[in-house]
Amino acid sequence: MPERKVTVESEVGLHARPAATFVQTAAKAALGVTVAKGNGEPVNAKSILAVLSLDVRQGDTVVIKAEGEGADELLDELALIASAP
């Protein structure tokens, strides 16, 4: 299963607008997508509540995984969102 490890650069972490954009992008894909904080338990990246519950802050590392056709492209897009300042 392809994955991307990304350091979150946003001052608000993966909360509010960055989290909404991240979840909306993940939800558009017909793939299974998960995100985990560091080595923690992965959650559904298509669920805003699940993503917010990770409490990802600036400087934290997340691991994003997706499985299926187009996974690499989706992961690249999600990594850009998660790493945007």
Of these residues, 4, 10, 14, 15, which one is catalytic? 15
Distances (CA, A) of 74 to 40, 45, 53, 57, 78: 21, 12, 22, 22, 6
Active site residue 15: yes
Greatest extent of the chain over all pairs of C-alpha atoms, in Å: 33
The residues carrying an active-site annotation are: 15
